[in-house]
Structure 1
Amino acid sequence: MSFRLPVGRGKRLRTLSLVSVLAVSVTLAGCTTPEAQSVAPGELPLVIGPPVRDNVTPMEGVLACFADHVASTGMAPVVVGVGDVKDFTGKYSLNEGNALTQGGALMVYSALGKLSGAVRIAERFDPSIAERELGYTDRRQLGDGEIHDLDGPNGKQKVPWIPYFGGTIQQSDYFIVGGITEVNYDIRSGGFEAGVNQIGGKGRTYSQQVAIDLRIVDTRTLEVVKTVSLAKQFTGYEVGFNVFRFFDNDLFDINVGARGQEPMQLGVRAALEEGVVRLISAVTNVDYEPCKAVQVGGRIAVTPAEKLRVVANPASGFGAPAPVVKSGGQPVNSGGNAVASASGSDVSIGFEFGSAQLGGEALSRIDQIAAAAKQGGVNVLLVSRDTENFDPGKRDALSDQRVAAITSALASRGIAPAAVSIIWRPAPSDTSIHRDGPGMQELVRLRIGG
């Protein structure tokens, strides 16, 4: 027994199918249309995307932690310049141009800037404007709108130009040069593709790698003090589904898919930032290794390095970071002194929801807590978001893990576990939230030292 649609009804069904496909396509297109704004009357609307943000990388916490370590030594900041950091791979596409960034030197400058004055930066990459100004000065053409006194053979005379006797440009101690030296495409790939009756799907992953080579050179002797060679792998994926079939006299050709890749230039920037940390570590004799624990899983930080700083820079003509403020609103440190005295306010250490991991900001504070503990003791308050509302058993178990993490971090800095004591925590039967400022709650109060 067979069944066939009437001619008119079959045609209507095919038409409805085609209309349905077109409707779905239009709907999907509408879902992906970004916001648009008309700026002036008569103008076409402009597409408005996300706002400008800080260009953060997975290295923000490491940079902040290392800068704090350098600043805590109290040494005068070294003066560092940057030479050419070029793309030596030569990879070029007629359609897309250079495969890798040509701004390696600019990224190195920005990495030094993220150390927030723990080192000083000398401009050596493009001094053309300064040299032109000095040329004007040498020709007595540069003025500042003031009249200056100038000693001459006939006594003092009034001149409208800026007198200049040299020596205003400060020498650098070291400079960084190098380049991007490798780009290896498709070092490994894999996937699948399957289809039945011209209906199928596919999926694949692929990897590539770049490498950088940097060195830091003593400006006076041209001796290479330290070299680094770092590599970074990138991963990408592609998935898809397609239909290519005739249904009677109608052809259906539908393709749906997605693809994505870890941003290559962002990875190059992160590699250059790590290279900078290692090079500055070599010339300052400040170990960067303790700060590597801040970089967890390669995830991009949300807060810029400058805002994670907790130690004021030595007096060097650069502004110190603003005092760190605990969630209750009281300053934790000011002007680079110890975070708290034996009788001062608590130092807050915050934890992410359900985590016992010490983040970059917490690790930076641990260094200052250890210093304060050696000088007489300090109270430390463990806090988290007030949305973390576990039952008392789970809350106490998580608090024990957090106390253990702090104890371990302090032990690596010379503070014995016996010096860490709990002076307050909620009772096992206490199910309330102990508030500590907007959106925060108190978990445990510790006494470190003293």
Structure 2
Amino acid sequence: MTKMRALLASMASALVLAGCATTSHPGSDGLYAAPTGGAPVTPNPTPYSEALVCLAHHAQAHNLASPRIAVGRLADYTGRASQDGAGAAVTQGASLMAMSAFAKAGVNLVERFDTSVSELELRYANNRLIRDDQTGQRQINAGSIPGSNFHLVGGITELNYNIRSNGIDALGGDRVDGDPTGVFSRRLWVMNIGLDLRLVDTVTLEVVDVISYQKQIIGRELSAGVFTFWDDAVVDISGGGSSLEPVQLAVRSVVERAVLEISAQLYGVNPSQACQFDDPIGGGASNITGGVNVATAYGSRETSNVQARQNIDRGHEQRDDTLRGYLRGRYD
């Protein structure tokens, strides 16, 4: 009975301590509580970020100019909601990720995604309401806005929650009720996301490149516990943890992988020759990731030099050397 009382006293002390951790009166700094945590801001790279930056340095060192690229709407076409029902399961900001990726690669970008401020200022200038410090009233000049040569559109097209899962549960103990009993549980599951992008000639609306990638995501869960009787008391102790590879970071990864391939085509370089990096995709894959059928869609090689991608490693270690490394309409 004494042990039972000691256990109840410990539980009561924990409850009192938890109650003291909060207060209904602010301190002298005007805060009820200091925020938990304090991790610094860090970069948010993917396995392809270093290659994008390296490609930009290579282009700068060799005076390779890219055409102007506009990023359109990269929408979420999965229609999936988060499992807790709080919103969409995948990010709605894939377009912003693509812009950041192109910027890492040093590609010339023009804004077409959110032009609300520019359009408002143009309207004000047209009504003679905008003033520039140097020239006075802002002038509206024809041809002052550079046009895009290509634009990127597409979206997130796959989100498969449970491609495969497995687990194990174990329970062990003595047949005597008073002896401890141990439990152990392990779970593992795999899901994936998919992306389909198109690069379109802004003037002719011809689709000059198509890319489709997917990335698998892994999750793990581990737990263990002990159950026993302690005189008149019951003791049940358990612990564990779970981890899931960030879904939104997986979206950023497939976006950057696609942008890396497109940027290399725009510069007309082989990224595996320009930069030494370990492509996680590489090695022997043979499925078609995208590209266009040059013979049927754009005529012969004499009239069109659109890229035709022959396997998933197009532009990397298994590059098809028989095709030229630049898009139709590349601007030097």
TM-score where L is the length of structure 1: 0.53
Give the equivalent residue in structure 1 for 2:162. 186
Cα distance in structure 1, aligned partners of 2:27 and 2:274: 47
Give the equivalent residue in structure 2 for 1:165. 141
Give the equivalent residue in structure 2 for 1:326. none
Deviation at 1:22, TM superposition (A): 9.2
Mapping of residues 282-361 of structure 1, within 5 Å: 282-290=265-273, 293-295=276-278
CA RMSD of aligned residues (A): 2.9
Equivalent pair of 1:140/1:161 in contact (CA under 8 Å):
yes
Task: Find 1:61's aligned residue among 50, 53, 60.
Answer: 50
Cα distance in structure 2, aligned partners of 1:251 and 1:277: 59
Deviation at 1:213, TM superposition (A): 0.8
- Does the alignment pair 1:128 with 2:129? no
- Does the alignment pair 1:77 with 2:66? yes
* CA deviation string 1:81-139 (max 9, x = no partner): 10000111000135331110000101001111112xx3211000011111111111112
* Unpaired segments ≥5 residues, structure 1: 1-10, 149-159, 299-450
- Does the alignment pair 1:239 with 2:222? yes
Equivalent pair of 1:227/1:279 in contact (CA under 8 Å):
no
AA matched with 2:257: E
Cα distance in structure 1, aligned partners of 2:28 and 2:264: 53
AA matched with 1:60: S
Give the equivalent residue in structure 1 for 2:176. none
Cα distance in structure 2, aligned partners of 1:113 and 1:40: 45
* Unpaired segments ≥5 residues, structure 2: 174-180, 282-332
| 1:41–1:110 Cα change, 3 Å | same
Deviation at 1:166, TM superposition (A): 1.9
- Does the alignment pair 1:87 with 2:76? yes
- Does the alignment pair 1:250 with 2:250? no
| 1:19–1:288 Cα change, 3 Å | farther
Cα distance in structure 2, aligned partners of 1:129 and 1:250: 68
* CA deviation string 1:362-412 (max 9, x = no partner): xxxxxxxxxxxxxxxxxxxxxxxxxxxxxxxxxxxxxxxxxxxxxxxxxxx
TM-score where L is the length of structure 2: 0.71
* CA deviation string 1:166-216 (max 9, x = no partner): 211011111111111101112112221111355311112111111111111
Cα distance in structure 1, aligned partners of 2:265 and 2:279: 23
| 1:40–1:91 Cα change, 3 Å | farther
Mapping of residues 410-449 of structure 1, within 5 Å: none
Cα distance in structure 2, aligned partners of 1:216 and 1:70: 20
Mapping of residues 330-409 of structure 1, within 5 Å: none
Cα distance in structure 2, aligned partners of 1:141 and 1:17: 76
Task: Find 1:102's aligned residue among 57, 71, 92.
Answer: 92
Identity of aligned residues (%): 35
Cα distance in structure 1, aligned partners of 2:271 and 2:12: 58
AA matched with 1:263: P
AA matched with 1:203: R
Deviation at 1:249, TM superposition (A): 3.4
Give the equivalent residue in structure 2 for 1:271. 254
Cα distance in structure 1, aligned partners of 2:12 and 2:27: 33
Give the equivalent residue in structure 2 for 1:142. 130
The structure showing larger relative contact order (alpha-carbon pairs under 8 Å, at least 6 residues apart) is 2
* CA deviation string 1:137-159 (max 9, x = no partner): 1122211245x5xxxxxxxxxxx
- Does the alignment pair 1:259 with 2:245? no
What is the DSSP-based 3-state SS (H/G/I as helix, E as strand, rest coil) of the residue aligned with 1:277?
helix
What is the DSSP-based 3-state SS (H/G/I as helix, E as strand, rest coil) of the residue aligned with 1:78?
coil
What is the DSSP-based 3-state SS (H/G/I as helix, E as strand, rest coil) of the residue aligned with 1:220?
coil
Cα distance in structure 2, aligned partners of 1:291 and 1:258: 42
Question: How many correspondences in the alignment?
Answer: 264
| 1:57–1:137 Cα change, 3 Å | same
| 1:164–1:83 Cα change, 3 Å | same
Deviation at 1:289, TM superposition (A): 3.3
What is the DSSP-based 3-state SS (H/G/I as helix, E as strand, rest coil) of the residue aligned with 2:199?
strand
